[in-house]
Structure 1
Amino acid sequence: MPKQPMNVPQLVAADAARAARVLNEVRDARLAGQRTRVALRPVIEQSWERMLRGGVDPEHGFRAGPLSPDEVMRRREESPLREVLPVLREGLLSVADVAHHIMVVADEEGRVLWREGCGPVLRKADMLGFEPGADWGEAVVGTNGVGTPAVVRRPVQVFAAEHFVRSHAAWTCAGAPITDPRNGRLLGVVDVSGPLETMHPATLAWVDSVAKLAEARLRETHVSSLERLRAVAAPVLARLGGRAAAVDGDGWTAAVTGMPYAQRIALPKSPSAGIRWLPGLGLCSVEPLAGGWLLRSVDDGAESPQRAGARIVLDLTRPRRWSVTVSGGVGSWSQELSPRHAELLYLLAVHRGGRSAAGLAEDMFGDPGRTVTVRAEMSRVRRYLGAFLEHRPYRFCEDAEIEALLPADREDLLPYSTAPAVVRARTPETVP
């Protein structure tokens, strides 16, 4: 049988010098619109398409001005990643220095906050502008091991000329995102970079495993903070009648009384003391506690808010920062959306008359039989949208005004979604 052509990681593992030559040929052919002898990996192909649409110059790129040292210091002090630096250093630096690599930690915007490792490689990085305060977001410097993992929200290794900008082709980078376990928000990216000949395809798994250790440390820190809040809240809740809960600033529950335990309660985007309507609790008195908030139901006889005149805004304009905001006579609150929930609410905003579980399953998976998955996800959505959603069929309530904010370019609509209805909506001249 004829041998199957090797993919890029196999090429690098077998012969780094040959891999560099092949990747340079592939890059030149791809940018010239010609067929390539080795196919670009999908994650790289998709990144290059974003670069071409965004106007990044593949020959020269663009270097944004670095942050001032004072601003870098301020961001370091405020970044939750500061808490996990010991984990990252212990897991990566000892090997990185010996293997002629450097470790880079960037924030969610792609700004380099920390950079440590092999001295000669650090000096080469200086020449490239890969320094503290520099902007290595994908839209600024092209496909790379910092910016691209932040966009696709998964680990990515970029070999040599897979970098979109030619001046980066002497480097190979492996980066993994680090997310906040409390809310799923991207905190930043940890990256290991170095010359192609010092890199191995297994580097990516190594970096990803250390990133997951960092997330586990953040999770432990969060659990400890909830335990402290529980100790503060216990004597307060013991004196109260009715329904009440103590939650942290992100709505994670430390303790409850007079009501079933819910792991998390959706809070307004910027909580403040006063009377607020909260999903699952109705009208509540929101009072500050050390490390969180005390929520006391003041509307036990009414499970639903006043829906008339309510306005629901579904914001899909910012990749991975999708949200739904509800405003009306009982105040305003927002909820960040997971990719799956953003897809579901987009489909309901498009189909104001509603969709059955089978219809949503067809839209989401191309399989009307996957209703169990749809119902499970819609049950989770109802935890924060509550009475603003109806079912049989699933739909927004008729009393509310619905507005969907979509990207200016339809190709940027939920760009990583593979739901058939969303894919059709991204394609010109089609209607979802």
Structure 2
Amino acid sequence: MSTVPGLEAALTAFEDPAAKARDLLRLHRTWAHTHEVPAGARGVVARSWLRQNPEGDKISTPISDDALLARRERSRLLASVVPILKDRLLPLAHEAGNELVISDDEGYPLWMFGPSPIRRRSDGLGFVEGARWREGDVGTNSLGTAMEERRPVQIFGPEHAREDQHAWVCTSAPILDRRARTPLGVVTLSGAFRTAHPHTLMLVTMAVREAVDTLAGQHERDLRRVARASEAYAGSGRFVVVDRHGWVARAEGYGVGERVWVPSSLREGTVWVPEIGQVRAEAITGGWVLHEAVSAPATVEVVRRPSPRILVTTAGSTVEIALSERHAEIVALLARHPSGLDTAGLMALLDGATTPVTIRAEMSRLRKRLGGLIESRPYRLTTRATVRPDAT
């Protein structure tokens, strides 16, 4: 196993790859025939096999060249770290007879590099630029499984779902985008299973960490540019300056963390922003200035099912704020008791056992989340609220 905490290589440096493959083939055949994951499968593989049925080989059809170019164009952040990844991993790929594959956030390989012989074998599998390789497309494979697990993964030989991949070992690590807190893409080294080595998992992981650090540096520089673009607003009252993902570049008069939630459909005008409250949004280069605005009345609708949330409408703009089931239950109770409820009142009405300490902790988190919608002593909503009729 890898010596790096949290990383699990598919085999140790002292295991014979051929013998390992024979042992794994017996497990794969058991799974294929019984549709049950046998004991002995590694945890990451067992979870992947449980997410699918062994229903024969799956094929992924490549998208058109124009669609591939369009995906590369929209993946500019990912493209910015391709040179680093090539520099760190391509020499190893050539030496080991592997290929380097860089895929986007949806599992489409956008760039593939490596020796011609391994590329030809890869083409024969349909593992080509523009052919999506999520688990749902081709079964267990390191690219798709790394996306599902959101962590580095090495898949060896018959751990792959498709039998035509049993001669391969593939090692992947996702690139997590700090800005949107979502996977930006996946980096993969793949080749013949006889080239398998546990150190490959560490090398791919470290290269991805360097790429993520580079992206973080770019992000800090971008935030400084957004802050400079807001200089004209200094002294104009309370406001928060954020980039397009809500990362805070500057704040005057507000105590906020490093990021606030902003709706993806944010437009200029009055809007409700969790943690801040009602603001007037004004676009600047690279982001937004969120000015304090309290003139427009706001209304709240509580939705309990199927997904707990509240809808905050102000000046014709509606924002959805996702909540936990417990928090949605609390807001619904406050909506039905406009004069307010103290801790004892909430305890009496909430489902399930609870304590005053638990209530106060939940209300502290909820008030921070809802940016001024809830007052204390007693707890009450500061604006008119209704509960959608299908709520219970």
Structure 2 length as normaliser, TM-score?
0.80
Cα distance between partner residues in 1 of 2:303 and 2:130: 38
Superposition deviation, residue 212 in structure 1: 1.5
- What residue in structure 2 maps to residue 66 of structure 1? 62
Cα distance between partner residues in 2 of 1:152 and 1:70: 30
- What residue in structure 2 maps to residue 78 of structure 1? 74
Residue 105 in 1 paired to residue 102 in 2?
A: yes
User: Which ranges of structure 1 fall in alignment gaps of 5 or more residues?
Assistant: 1-6, 317-322, 357-367, 406-432
Cα distance between partner residues in 1 of 2:254 and 2:157: 57
Change (3 A) 1:314 1:187: farther
Structure with greater Cα Rg = 2
Change (3 A) 1:206 1:388: farther
Match of 1:190, SS?
strand
Match of 1:230 among 227, 235, 248: 227
The 8 Å contact of residues 230 and 254 in structure 1, kept in 2 or not, is answered as: yes
Change (3 A) 1:392 1:260: closer
Match of 1:162 among 147, 159, 164: 159
Match of 1:185 among 172, 175, 182: 182
The 8 Å contact of residues 315 and 324 in structure 1, kept in 2 or not, is answered as: no
> Could you list the per-position Cα deviations for residues 242-275 of structure 1 after superposition, in whole angstroms to 9, with x for gaps in the alignment?
2012211111111222333532222122111111
- What residue in structure 2 maps to residue 385 of structure 1? 370
- The 5 A counterparts of 1:192-271 are 192-234=189-231, 236-240=232-236, 242-271=237-266
> Could you list the per-position Cα deviations for residues 208-232 of structure 1 after superposition, in whole angstroms to 9, with x for gaps in the alignment?
1211211111111110001111122
Match of 1:172 among 169, 194, 204: 169
Change (3 A) 1:15 1:112: same
User: Which ranges of structure 2 fall in alignment gaps of 5 or more residues?
Assistant: 1-7, 335-342, 344-353
The 8 Å contact of residues 9 and 154 in structure 2, kept in 1 or not, is answered as: no
Cα distance between partner residues in 2 of 1:403 and 1:191: 49
The residue identity in structure 2 corresponding to 1:83 is: S
Change (3 A) 1:47 1:346: farther
Cα distance between partner residues in 1 of 2:363 and 2:210: 31
- What residue in structure 2 maps to residue 127 of structure 1? 124
> Could you list the per-position Cα deviations for residues 94-140 of structure 1 after superposition, in whole angstroms to 9, with x for gaps in the alignment?
11111111111111211111111122111100000000000101111
> When the two structures are aligned, how many residues end up with a matched partner?
360
Change (3 A) 1:45 1:238: same
Change (3 A) 1:390 1:71: farther
- What residue in structure 2 maps to residue 17 of structure 1? 18
Change (3 A) 1:13 1:350: farther
Match of 2:142, SS?
coil
> Could you list the per-position Cα deviations for residues 15-48 of structure 1 after superposition, in whole angstroms to 9, with x for gaps in the alignment?
0010111111111123223999860011111111
Superposition deviation, residue 395 in structure 1: 12
- What residue in structure 2 maps to residue 47 of structure 1? 48
Residue 326 in 1 paired to residue 311 in 2?
A: yes
Q: Which has the higher contact order (CA 8 A, sep 6+)?
A: 2
Cα distance between partner residues in 2 of 1:404 and 1:98: 62
- The 5 A counterparts of 1:327-406 are 327-330=312-315, 331-334=317-320, 345-349=324-328, 375=361, 382-387=367-372, 399-401=385-387
Superposition deviation, residue 294 in structure 1: 1.3
Percent identity (aligned): 32
Change (3 A) 1:187 1:221: same
- What residue in structure 2 maps to residue 364 of structure 1? none
Match of 1:23, SS?
helix
- The 5 A counterparts of 1:81-96 are 81-96=78-93
Change (3 A) 1:143 1:353: farther
Superposition deviation, residue 396 in structure 1: 10
The 8 Å contact of residues 301 and 310 in structure 2, kept in 1 or not, is answered as: no
Match of 1:272, SS?
coil
Change (3 A) 1:306 1:190: same
Change (3 A) 1:382 1:135: farther
- What residue in structure 1 maps to residue 298 of structure 2? 306
Match of 2:117, SS?
helix
Cα distance between partner residues in 2 of 1:283 and 1:14: 61
Cα distance between partner residues in 2 of 1:286 and 1:137: 38
